[in-house]
Amino acid sequence: MSSSVPNTTRGPSTRANVPTTTPTSGPASSTPTSGPASSTPTSGPASSTPTSGPASSTPTSGPASSTPTSGPASASAAAAAAASASAAATARPADSDKLLTVRSVDLLKSRDGPNRREHHTDSYFSNNLIVRRGQTFQMWIELSRPFNRRSDNLQLQLSECSVVTTGIRISVPLVDVLEDNGWEMKIVEQKDNRVRVSVNTLASASIGRYMITVVSFSPKGKLLFPCAPNDLFLLFNPWCEDDSVYLSNEAERKEYVLNSMGRIYYGTEQQIGARTWNYAQFEQDVLEACLFLMERGRVAMTEWRDPMIVSRMISALVNSNDDQGVLMGNWSDSYEGGTSPTAWSGSGDILKQYYKSGGKPVKFAQCWVYAGVTNSVLRCLGIPTRCVTNFSSAHDTDLSLTTDIYIDEKLELIKDKTNDSVWNFHVWNESWMARPDLPVGYGGWQVVDATPQEPSQGSYRCGPTPVSAVRNGQVNLKFDTPFVFAEVNSDRIYWQKKPDGSFSQVSVEKNTIGQRISTKAVGSEERMDITHLYKYPEGSEEERIAVERASRFGSKPTLYPLPTDNDVSIEIVMVGEGPRIGGDAKLSIVLKNKSSKQRTASLLYEVLVMYYTGVLKATVKKEQIPVDLKPLETKTIPWTLLYKEYMNHLVDQGALMLTVTGRVNQTKQILATQFNFRLRTPDLIITPLEGAVVGKELTVKITFQNPLSLVLRNVLFRIEGLGMQSVRKIPCGDVEKLATVTLMEKFVPTVSGSQKLLASMDCRLLTQVHGFADIVVKAK
């Protein structure tokens, strides 16, 4: 994946071409009259102009409607010093004495408008405002008089529309400067009685449908203006680095979020067929159907912020086995009263039928239909998702993590005991997300399977299961990893009944389960084989270690030979503060033989680049190391990763993970360890050139050296502290490879005592570069 991502997380607030005109309102909204009716705006059709309800701008009862309010109004007054004088002057003193009424609101929700385009939601066939979390959107508010920044204030109130789940109430304050990752809004333009505000959303906010109310404050009181029926739809945001579904590659975002057509594979491993599937995630009523479905999951909307919880809930709700979900399964030859699973060619009709019937399960489905609908729902909600087909897919029914076939003395199948089965093919989904609930390294693609096969925690659902855990046999990690591991990498074991009634192994097939695991390639109609993501090459030492490691957690933990001794230990050691970016990374692998006998082994090490969320990006280097340990010997093996080997693979935060595995030949003991480390970035060196005195100019030198043999583009330094009221931004342009940059900045301290001066560097290619200096400022 590319580590370069378009700067789209700020949304339309940075654009200068947002329309500055507001649809005109009816006569009542432009000519106030006395009495309550004077503050009730009228409007045209909801699809093109702002709307309101009769009660939307009637003053609230009680003192709040006629006396100044505390809270937001006082916050506005405190921030007024920073507001521009020209904007404040637009409100005449006489106007400031009048009640501030919201006449109309334009959410700029048209499909070809800046909000929908910037948020990648212009494909949704809907006239609603659909935005993605962690990104700004804009709206126009028309008021009864010019807004006075000195005495007036505005606030948004968002409330979720669900009638089933626990309610959410969000207050969005008006601020002078928008900060990252928070609910707040800022006035970016003022024209007569109208203001254009930029609204910032939280990157971890709960997705869903929200009702918007604009609250206006003035010395005369507080008014509420509900924007109904113009609701806000908030989705996950794979374009936002702070969102847990962030995906860095634009081509993959287009494929796994925005592509409404896909390919689903079926057949056998020798005869793979493909069918095109219409996911229809942008069709009319599909988004509403998806949110309706989530409400039926009866999970509090506060939990809708987590893609792990949402995907697990959807895997249960797409089947109807225990919760009246979308689809009823049918694996018989009779489909009377419904539609044959092979007749479906898309998800749109299924979801709309379910939605319009009030939640009546649609007949009928098999695995590819479940997967197609799951893909549609999760893409619609903003989670990157793809359909995956596993050929020769095992169904383990007893948690043995093996596929068990039982035969009698005459070599005939014992049908009532052979409950495990192998499907010609099985289709599930993978969704992309961070997994902060697991150890680092297990984010990324997660198996989500809505086909009802076995219950999980009391409900027919499966996942999200980290694909990387399946590959390594780490079946102790949640969710449902043992079941998925058995589907792709279980051994098929034949058991024969003995005269005493017990069973013994007579044959083992180690490479028949989990073949040619397939998904649609990015940007083309070709099939992509991803078997290597689920398991190591069949028969390799790594693959056998994964199988045996997994079996220890199954219902037959002694199935494979246990090691005769565990007398060799392994650890990875880092000296000092660790490697620096731009240089070679050096670690040590330490093995201790606690036995009085010789031990030999072959170690496999693999180093991977990963995001700070624990999502793995790519393998950088992989090699084998033969080891010979004398009795009671401790051996230290130097390990080096050269700069030229990792320089083109780095991602944000410069994190890497070294995995070492192996097996002791004499005892069959499995050796395994992981070590996470980061490449340390250089500090900014801040040096005051003279003593600091209040009111006297102070010169400070800031030094930075580029540690990379690469040019750093569009470097920006940010300086704050030392009593400054705002951040000082210093554009530096490009910094040549290995070059040193020196800044000479002047400050005038305003407060005596011990102060800190902070500096940080903003650069896409090199992050986490910062520094500070403690400066004692003397009084005059």
Active site residues: 367, 426, 449
Question: DSSP letter string over 178-219?
Answer: PPSSS-EEEEEEEETTEEEEEEE--TTPPPEEEEEEEEEEET
C-beta of residue 587 within 8 angstroms of C-beta of residue 574? yes
- The contacts found for 721-725 with CB under 8 angstroms, 24 or more apart, are 721/755, 721/756, 721/757, 721/758, 721/772, 722/747, 722/749, 722/755, 722/756, 722/757, 722/775, 722/777, 723/749, 723/750, 723/751, 723/755, 723/777, 725/82
Amino acid at 365: A
Question: What are 588's strand-pairing partners?
Answer: 573, 638
Q: How many CB atoms lie within 10 A of CB 44?
A: 14
Burial class (CB in 10 A: 0-12, 13-18, 19+), 362: buried
Distance, in Å, from the CA atom of 422 to the CA atom of 444, rounded to the nearest integer, reads: 27
- C-alpha to C-alpha distance for 613 and 440, rounded to whole angstroms: 7
Rounded Cα–Cα distance for residues 661 and 568 (Å): 13
Chain-centre distance for alpha carbon 508: 41
Burial pattern 283-315, b for ≥16 Cβ within 10 A else e, equals beebbbbbbbbbbbbebebeebbbbbebbbbbb
Peptide bond into 464 cis (omega under 30): yes
Nearest to 581 by CA among 678, 667, 507, 689: 678
The CA-to-CA distance between both ends of the chain, in Å, stands at: 56
Show the tokens assigned to 295: 């409400």
- Residue 695 · residue 716 · CB < 8 Å: no
Q: What backbone torsions phi and psi does residue 448 show, to the nearest 5 degrees?
A: -130, 120
- How many CB atoms lie under 10 A from the CB of residue 507? 11
715 bridge partner residues: 733
Q: Which residue in the block uniquely carries the two structure tokens 């987590």?
A: 306
> Which residues are bridge partners to 265 per DSSP?
274
Nearest alpha carbon to residue 733 among 773, 774, 768, 761:
761
Backbone phi and psi for residue 488, each to the nearest 5 degrees, phi listed first: -110, -20
Distance CA 144, CA 41 (A): 10
Distance separating alpha carbons of residues 490 and 400, to the nearest angstrom: 9
Contacts 24+ apart (CB under 8 A), 86-94: 87/149, 87/187, 87/190, 88/148, 88/149, 88/150, 90/146, 90/147, 90/148, 90/190, 90/192, 91/145, 91/146, 91/147, 91/148, 91/149, 91/150, 91/152, 92/146
Helix, strand, coil share of the chain (percent; to 5): 20, 35, 45
Instruction: Using alpha carbons, select from 161, 309, 282, 140 the residue that is nearest to residue 225.
Output: 140
d(CA 429, CA 448): 5
CA distances in angstroms from 74 to 33, 68, 197, 691, listed in the order given: 29, 9, 20, 39
CA–CA distance, 362 with 672 (Å, rounded to integer): 48
C-alpha span between 500 and 415 (Å, rounded)? 19
**Torsion sign over Cα 433, 435, 440, 446:** negative
Give the span between the Cα atoms of 20 and 141, in whole angstroms. 11
Can you tell me the distance from the alpha carbon of 384 to that of 692, in angstroms, rounded to the nearest whole number? Answer: 53
Edge-to-edge strand order for the sheet containing 585-593?
568-573, 585-593, 634-641
